Structure 1
Amino acid sequence: MIAPCQHELLKKHTACVVWLTGLSGAGKTTLAMALEKELYNRGVHTALLDGDGLRLGLNSDLGFSPEDRVINVQRTAQVCKLMVDAGLVVIVSMISPQAQSRTMARSLFNPGQFFEVHVNAPLQVCEQRDPKGLYRKARRGDIAQFTGISATYEVPESPCLILQTHQYTVSECLEQLFAILEPALGRYSINGRMNQQPD
């Protein structure tokens, strides 16, 4: 069996998870896609797991009860673990409102492999953006257990990074992300060349 470190050696970068959590409309998917593109341009092997997409397939049997939300995160985290062991940088875009389930996800990984990023915007801003019209439906009572309206979002207590998307552009948020990712990619540089170690 090929060890995870051998996959990293082949890909020339360290594997990790960037877990983007936040309210619907905060900008998680936008940032996830921008991060994936920039990492790809720098020669980093990535996988993007979006919460909406996962609910169309892997997690299509789940609803939005607290119990189902836990399972939603558990399954996604297990997939992330497999991908990290294969040497990928995995980007997750998922509301994941429960602190306990995010802690569980983190526990699957070695120190330095899991980056919890709070993609933050005030509820009012998220409602104004409302790209899918979900907040309007939730306010009318058409959607039950909607995070931020009829279900609680537990704000991360100690995330690796907080991105205030109502204050910064996508490019500025990416700069903040790379500030923590570049050192984290370890003994390899982010553009795929091995870092030179001092004598």
Structure 2
Amino acid sequence: MTHNPNIIWHPAAISKSDRQSLNGHKSCVLWFTGLSGSGKSVLANAVDEKLYRKGIQSYVLDGDNIRHGLNKDLGFQTGDRIENIRRIGEVAKLFVDSGQMILTAFISPFREDRDMVRALFPKGEFFEIYVKCPLHVCEQRDPKGLYKKARNGEIKHFTGIDSPYEAPLSPDFIIESDQTSISDGADLIINALQNRGII
């Protein structure tokens, strides 16, 4: 998509650092990625709840929820998946600019797309969290019955079945959800954010 020279970015009167100072914490993206059923949404919401209890301004963008509104025009072919992540990256950037912690829970199966989003942010504002879980465990969980439908040919382009998932090569955090409880995983992330001076 080419840039229209007639559209000019309008600078805000209140800066990101001003908003961070008001909130009492830095802003950043926690980008949860992993297979369907790996526990991304549950973990992101557990972290969000812990942040809320600490008085941190935060919000979760969930893959399914976004497809009910902003991205309801997109399917699951490769091009639509790329556009899905591009839009979320831009929305996340706005949240970070507003001084908030934004947690995104999307399969986001392609490394190139995740790297594209990371490139939108300065160093220290984007953290990739790989919610690692073996495919067979995700299939056993199958909370939405999607793997069964994919195996039966009722769903096409399903990640892990007939569409690839490219695991992160150097994620900022790895939570092995088949070995770590949601509460413990959330605590690990909160502690890491505190150690890095984010919160």
TM-score normalised by length of structure 2: 0.92
State the SS of the aligned residue for 2:83.
helix
Question: Unpaired runs of 5+ in structure 2?
Answer: 1-12
CA distance in 2, matches of 1:83, 1:185: 19
Confirm or deny that 1:151 pairs with 2:163. yes
Task: Quote how far apart the aligned CAs of 1:80 are.
Answer: 0.4
The separation in 1 between residues aligned to 2:82 and 2:197, in whole angstroms, is 29
Equivalence for 2:87: 75
CA distance in 2 between counterparts of 1:54 and 1:175 reads 26
Which residue identity lines up with residue 133 of structure 1 in the other structure? G
Q: Equivalent residues in 2 for 1:1-199 (5 A)?
A: 1-186=13-198, 190=199
Q: How many angstroms apart in 1 are the aligned matches of 2:171 and 2:191?
A: 14
2:124 partner letter: G
Q: Displacement, 1:176?
A: 1.7
> Percent of counterpart pairs with the same letter?
46
Q: Give the drift of 1:185.
A: 3.9
Query: What is the CA distance between 1:127 and its match in structure 2?
Result: 0.3
How many residues in Structure 1 have an aligned counterpart in Structure 2? 187
The one-letter amino acid of 2:109's match is P
3-state secondary structure, aligned to 1:116: strand
Contact 1:112 1:184 in 2 (8 A): no
Q: Check the 8 A contact 2:44/2:104 in 1, yes or no.
A: yes
Which amino acid is the alignment partner of residue 113 of structure 2?
S
User: Bigger shift: 132-141 or 165-174?
Assistant: 165-174
Which residue does 2:8 correspond to in 1? none
When normalised by structure 1's length, the TM-score is: 0.92
Letter in 2 for 1:96: S
Q: Which amino acid aligns with 1:170?
A: I
Task: Return the letter of the residue paired with 1:132.
Answer: K
Distance 2:156 2:35 in 1: 15
Instruction: Return the offset for 1:29.
Output: 0.7
State the alpha-carbon separation in 1 of the partners of residues 98 and 197 from structure 2. 15
1:175 offset after TM fit, Å?
Answer: 2.1
- What residue number does 1:196 align with? none
C-alpha distance in structure 1 between counterparts of 2:47 and 2:187, whole Å: 10
The answer on whether the counterparts of 1:15 and 1:185 sit within 8 Å (CA) in structure 2 is no
Name the aligned partner's letter for residue 150 of structure 2: A
